[in-house]
Chains A and B, each alone.
Chain A
Amino acid sequence: MNIKAVSKGSKYLFAFGFILILLVMGTKLYQDKAWFLAIFFYVSAALIFYTYSISKSTPAKYLLPGVLLLTLFHIYPAFYSGAVAFTNDSNGHQLTKDQAIAAIVQDSKIPIATQEPVKYQTLIEEGSKKVFVLFKYESENYWLSDGNAIRSVSPDPRSVLVDGTVVKVGGFTILSPDQTQAQIAVLQNLVINLDSGISFQPQDLETLEVSQPAFMYNEAKDELINTLSGESYEPNDNGQMVSKSGEVLYPGWKANIGWRNFSSIITDKEIRRPLLAVLVWTFANAFLLVLISFLMGLVLALIFNFPALRSKRFYRTIFIIPMAIPSVLSLLVWSGLFTAETGVIDRLFHISIPWLTHPWWARVAVLIVELWITFPYMFLITTGAIQAIPGEILEAAAIDGASPAKSFTQIKLPLVVRTVAPLLVASVAMALNNFGAIYLLTGGGPTFSNSNGNAGATDILISYTYKLAFNSQEGNNYGLASALSILNFLIVGLISIYGLKKMKTMEGIN
């Protein structure tokens, strides 16, 4: 058998099988009502089929897997988060409007005591197969309802037992206890309302809970009425039901608020003031960090590039150790070392600096730790850059009588900077989003005293945003956090693009 044909055949079988799996998964997702994911799987299957069997484009074959994963786990979440920025998604606004109104009504139930528990029977309507509930309340009337419509029925007295149980209703099948059990999912969410406002809810498989909700919802007029006080409540533009006197009902719902999150960044003093301070520090931190660590790396590279120094390898190995320790662990250890007074650093150097509780010292501490993490990388790349300088240039300069200092400033430095410039730009972009170093070390603190939020002296935009979204003390304001994420993205993106452009022109000049 032709080996090539076999291997080609098996490759196709493998691909075909993979596509089949994706289609099957997509169908299951569709059945489970996960629309977006189902469509994504179908589209992926189609793209894979097209790319690897029909399309002539070679690049697509290499890029497709990465692109598919990137889309699902990076691009889609980013857009989704962006969409959240236009809602008031936060604690108290997680429900849909229907859920919120149902919750308000349900929570306002006033229980009505009955002399005997109200029993019910479960029926299935022949034909539509809908679940109905039959029960007797107060008068000799029986009520039949599926939660939407309700009507009173008078069963044939011959089909009613002594205890009130009905054995036959025309057009319906009466369920046995076992069959009733199978309908639990529907029964436990059933709410039956009489016109008088009395509400019945199954509280187990046999009895109904009788109550009178204080709130009634008029769907036509889109208003809630408090039957006890007569007050009426209508929706406002923030996903809540509000009365004329300004009383707000809870829970609210997730509402589309347009650009309000973005505008509040500028107009709301409580948001704008801490945000401004955070932004300033975000930039300061990133630029200082890259500048200082670059200088340190450069100086060390120059010092240890000395040929006569034989233990170069030894020092280099030690210098890169900070890169080798998982930063999530080393950062936490640093936070312990910086404890004021009794901490290791204060005791070792016989100082008494309130590292983590004083805003400016906290910033210094953050920079020290970030420097510790970053200088090895800077050391390595500047070493590489220096070593890449052709020896002839340096020799020529020495012959021309240039002093070591001049050789440095006029030749080495510019060449090194030009070589590592793209990496420096990338470092700045990463430093702008240096979440771990801030959050694990200081948590963004110490907190600004007058702030409404948890903005602190060492917070950078991403850590502040994170706290807004995930710190329940902040009300889990996903809406505002998403707006800030977009802002963050724009800032980092613009700076990176600007930096890259600047470098391209620099290269052009030289």
Chain B
Amino acid sequence: MKLHRLGVGLLGVSLAFFGSMAPAQAAGSITVWVNSGEEASYKAASAAWSAKTGVTVNIVAKCGLGDCGMSKLGPAGAGPDLFTASHDNTGSLVKSGVVTSLSSVVKKASYPSAVLSGITFNYQQWGIPIAVSNIALATNLSLVPAGAPKTWKELESTATSLISSGKANVGIVTHLDGYFMQPFFDSIGGYVFQNKNGSYTNTKQVGLYSKSLAKNASLMDTWLQKKIFDKSNTYDGSNFTNGKAPYSLVGPWSIAGLDKAGMKYEISSIPSINGGTARSFSGVTAVYMNRYAKNKFLAKQYLVEVVQSAAFSKAITAANNSYPANIEAASSIDPSSVAGKFGAYGAVCIPMPNVSEMNQVWTYWNNAFADWASGKAKFGAAMESASKNLNKALGNS
């Protein structure tokens, strides 16, 4: 009896192992890695094509920030056919050799030139843009009934008067790092790398301490001292949600929190000190193709027939509150909606440089902001040393 039962048990175990042996990928399937949390929207947007062509589309949540681990997995043959990433990874993806050029696939006319420049590297296109996201200014309408500021002067005076009357603790709730402070950086004349004809490959020209920034650097110190910026550098949104700050820099990810706190707010662009609009960084989410994909033909077909369509862009962005990169899809967004407001500002923003040197930029740039915020150095001095160190690290000097 015991033997018999054991034998059955053994058989069962062996069957389980045999059965679990992964079959070779069936002809007619592709694998796409997407950001965790977005599988549902990708699956839904691919369903119709999958049914029509009989190709199975495996959507797997494997990505977060960065390159999805592709630099190690792709060459080892463990990667997917397609994957999503933020466009600023383009440079390092290309330099790692793990993505295939999609220049012959991208329909340039479908996307704004700023978006295209984000996925362009070395004069070729490497990703199919889907969504554009950027930060924007949120104004607390209960504290500032007049609404979003149209000029910098208006922003500054509103903030300082609220602070001096004690109604507010700080002017603008934001992180004090490169990504968030970019619009103010841009406003006073600073830049990271020169953008020539949509290409950022000129890394010899670093603008962290450009002439015009050097001239205006003291403004940043004044603003910090006036509490326009919060030197505790925590981006703890509660100052904004508790009505203790008139403005905050927010991204599409913050909207849910604002709504939950029951806030009345307005999303707008950020005014520049010289009258125009201060440009933030925009991020483009794009689909890239693994150079070592196992199903190149089908993946290409999927890119052409599904990913490039306006419907796809619209479906994905609707699900994650970002703005479609596809021009046709974008035209159907209501400009007065929150997504519309983000998108309107995003249209004038500049895409983050996609060169792999950005990694070093962030290190020095963010350190400089931290030193300035903690009071260790004045803004000008901090940026000057960051610029010097960065140039040295990049081999420019």
Contacts and interface: CB of A to CB of B under 8 A. Distances in A.
Contacts of A472: 66-67, 92, 359
B99 to A, nearest CB: 10
A457 to B, nearest CB: 12
A476 B71 contact: yes
B236 A339 contact: yes
Nearest to A25: B17
A188 B296 contact: yes
B47 interface: no
Contacts of A377: none
Interface in A146-170: none
Interface string B349-390: 000000010011011001110110110100000000100010
A181 interface: yes
Chain B binding site: helix, strand, loop or mixed by DSSP? helix
Nearest to B393: A452
Contacts of A187: 297
B363 A339 contact: no
Given A10-B2, A340-B234, A474-B359, A184 B17 contact: no
Contacts of A92: 71, 92, 95-97, 356
Between A99, A107, A181, A343, the greatest number of chain B beta carbons within 10 A of the residue's beta carbon is seen for A107
B365 to A, nearest CB: 11
A473 B363 contact: yes
B319 interface: no
A135 to B, nearest CB: 17
Top 5 nearest A-B pairs (CB, nearest first) are A251-B97, A17-B10, A103-B97, A188-B296, A250-B95
Contacts of A28: 21
Contacts, number: 144
Nearest to A453: B363
B239 A342 contact: yes
Interface string B288-331: 00010011110011000000000000000000000000000000
Interface string B117-143: 000001010000000000000000000
Contact of A91 (B21, B96, B373, B393): B96
17 contacts: A13-B7, A17-B6, A21-B17, A92-B356, A99-B97, A184-B27, A203-B300, A250-B96, A339-B234, A342-B236, A357-B374, A446-B370, A446-B374, A449-B367, A452-B389, A473-B359, A475-B359
Size band of the interface chain A makes with B: 35 or more
Interface string B337-355: 0000000000000000000
Nearest to A452: B393
Contacts of A7: 2
A204 B300 contact: yes
B98 interface: yes
Contacts of A10: 2-3, 6
Contact of A94 (B75, B363, B373): B75
A193 B94 CA distance: 24
B389 A450 contact: yes
Given A205-B297, A357-B373, 5 more contacts: A14-B10, A203-B297, A204-B301, A209-B104, A250-B94
B101 interface: yes
A63 interface: no
A209 B97 CA distance: 21
Contacts of A474: 359
Nearest to A9: B3
Contacts of A450: 385, 389
A65 interface: no
Contacts of A111: 104
B3 A6 contact: yes
Interface string A91-108: 110111001100110110
Interface in B1-23: 2-3, 6-7, 10, 13-14, 17-18, 21
A182 B27 contact: yes
A91 B27 contact: no
B363 A452 contact: yes
Interface string A341-353: 1110000000000
A382 to B, nearest CB: 39
A171 B224 CA distance: 81
Given A21-B14, A357-B373, A473 B75 contact: no
Nearest to A445: B370
B59 to A, nearest CB: 21
B232 interface: yes
Given A94-B75, A209-B104, A339 B232 contact: yes
A204 B17 contact: no
A466 B75 CA distance: 22
A109 B72 CA distance: 25
A357 B233 contact: yes
Between A94, A109, A451, the greatest number of chain B beta carbons within 10 A of the residue's beta carbon is seen for A94
A69 interface: no
Contacts of B101: 107, 109
B94 to A, nearest CB: 7
A94 B100 CA distance: 16
B92 A251 contact: no
B315 to A, nearest CB: 26
A24 interface: yes
Given A94-B96, A357-B370, A13 B6 contact: yes
A104 B291 CA distance: 12
Given A91-B71, A94-B72, A472-B92, A184 B297 contact: yes
Contacts of B376: 449
A454 interface: yes
A354 interface: yes
Between B104, B385, B393, the greatest number of chain A beta carbons within 10 A of the residue's beta carbon is seen for B104
A104 to B, nearest CB: 8
A212 interface: no
Interface in A335-393: 339-343, 354, 357-358
Contacts of A451: 363
A185 interface: yes
A20 B385 CA distance: 66
A446 to B, nearest CB: 6
A473 B362 contact: yes
Interface string B98-112: 101100100000000
Interface in A64-102: 91-92, 94-96, 99-100
Contacts of A91: 71, 92, 95-96, 356
A260 B75 CA distance: 24
A472 B85 CA distance: 13
Contacts of A25: 17
Interface string B48-69: 0000000000000000001100
Nearest to B371: A449
A447 interface: yes
A13 B389 CA distance: 69
A13 B300 contact: no
Nearest to B301: A204
A181 B27 contact: yes
A466 B245 CA distance: 38
B235 to A, nearest CB: 10
